[in-house]
Amino acid sequence: MAKEAQLLQLLKKELRSLLLAAREGLTPARLEQQYLAMVGKPLPLHDLGFQSTLELVAAMPEAVKVCHHKGRTLLKGIPDESTKGIADLLGKRRSSRTRRGSRRSGAAGGAGAAAPSPSPQRSKAGTLPATADAAEMPPLESSSDTESFHLPSEEESEAVATEAGGLGAGLQQPEALEQALLEKLILTPEMPPDAVQDRRLCSLPPLERRSMVAVFVSSIISPSQFYIQLYSKETSSKLREMMCEMRFLYSHRVVSDRYLLPEALLRPGQLCCLLLADWWHRAVIHRLLSPQQVQVFCVDHGHLKTVQRSALRLLKWCYLKLPAQALPCSLAGVQPMQGTWSSAATLQFQELCGSKLLVGITDEYVNGVLHLFLCDTSTKEDVYVHQVLSSRGHAAICKENVPSQGFQELNPSALYIQPSGQQESLAAE
């Protein structure tokens, strides 16, 4: 019940802000659309036990007013102390428009006394004929094409700028001032409520020794420094489903803009998501290379990538659940011939492992890195990768596993991924 009450309070704040930003109110369907665009997920009606949006807003009469106008149901926001300044600004904007409309009507009426009275129609530019009768004129609508031809008086501009807290300095039209204020205080009052700020992903549970698993080698630096993905119907389908969902969600322009990574979170260790080749991937910022470029670690594939900052977005909380899929590994039973792996050895390793489903036989963990044997079972006879490297003079057989020098120098998984089993404690916070 405490979680439901907390969710309802947050929802009340978000709906109040959205409705205050809409001068004439919103229909229930339009409110649902705006909430989806702002938060990235539908209204949590069923989570709170409601059957419809109208039933939800009926439970928050202090925040939302239900009105009926011309056969339509409209929802309007009721300001509280935190949004009173916004409501006052909107009220001043409406009253200033009314004053300007009255002055324009009066001026038109004065001119009409000395001229013929043609039919009261607007020109394409949005102004009214000077040759017109004020008594026959329809009221001026508050539309952008009409407003754009009338600058506010000096005192009105100062009043709006004061309410905006200086946001509109240098802007002359109150419409622009209002938009700047609303974007700062209403549309983005804070971080998106489901954006990850200071959390880490969990690793997969450790594998038992001598267990056999199906694997893909997803990233290769050398035979003693590479990443694998475990292949199973459950884990592989979960990763694929998550990436499909991320692609659908973050490709929506409004949602993508909403989850832009702010300057304050552009820091090493920050979880985010990254657009690569039309797919979104979970990543961690590793280094800031320039104001526009960062190096990130792709937690599900093991790649280090240099990307533009504009390609990064905030990661949603729902994408924390799946553990990081890339496992740091080293080939068991071999070591390089001359202390470091030659280019030819790494190339041979890539040819043996790339784009293939292999069988991995786990040996042991050394400094958090999994040492395992790799076997290609797609041919008539099983091919063990470490034996091929040895027979072709690229590696020496060893009885004990040698710690991976490459991972000793840099192991992003150890830096940014927390041990398995801590996921529940995060969810409870």
DSSP 3-state helix, strand, coil percentages of the chain (rounded to 5)? 40, 20, 40
- For residue 37, what pLDDT is reported? 66
Domain 232-320 listed as CATH 2.30.30.140: yes
Strands (E), 254-302: 271-276, 279-288, 293-298
Half-sphere exposure of 205 (CA within 13 A, CB side): 5
At residue 285, the pLDDT reads 98
* Topology match between the domains 2-78 and 232-320: no
**DSSP sequence for 121-182:** ---TTS---TT--GGGPPPPP--HHHHTT-PPPHHHHHHHHHHTTTTTTT---HHHHHHHHH
pLDDT score of 81: 66
Query: What pLDDT is stored for residue 40 in this prediction?
Result: 63
Q: How far is CA 34 from the centre of its chain?
A: 16
CATH superfamily of domain region 2-78: LOTUS domain-like (3.30.420.610)
Contact criterion met (CB below 8 Å) for 270 and 297: no
pLDDT number for residue 83: 57
Q: What is the pLDDT of residues 144-184, one digit of tens each?
A: 332 322 333 333 333 333 333 333 333 345 555 545 544 44
Q: Which helix (H) or strand (E) holds 427?
A: helix 423-428
Tokens, residue 219: 């990233």
Evaluate whether 356 touches 276 at the Cβ level (below 8 Å).
no
Is the Cβ–Cβ distance between 41 and 29 less than 8 Å? no
Type of residue found at 59: A
Query: Can you give the residue ranges of every domain in the chain?
Result: 2-78, 83-187, 212-228+325-416, 232-320
For the ranges 178-182, 239-243, 334-338, which has the lowest average pLDDT? 178-182
What radius of gyration, in Å, describes the C-alpha atoms of the chain? Answer: 31
Candidates 270, 306, 220, 284; CA nearest to 413 is 284
pLDDT bin (cut points 50, 70, 90) of residue 354 is confident
Token pair in block for residue 3:
């979680």
Which residues does 48 contact at the CB level (< 8 Å), separation at least 6? 4, 7, 8, 11, 56
| pTM: predicted TM-score of the whole model, two decimal places | 0.59
Which CATH code fits 212-228+325-416?
2.40.50.90
**Residue where the block lists tokens 């947050």:** 10
Q: If pLDDT is split at 50, 70 and 90, which confidence band does 14 have?
A: confident
Instruction: Give mean pLDDT, residues 304-327.
Output: 95
Whether pLDDT at 332 is above 90? yes
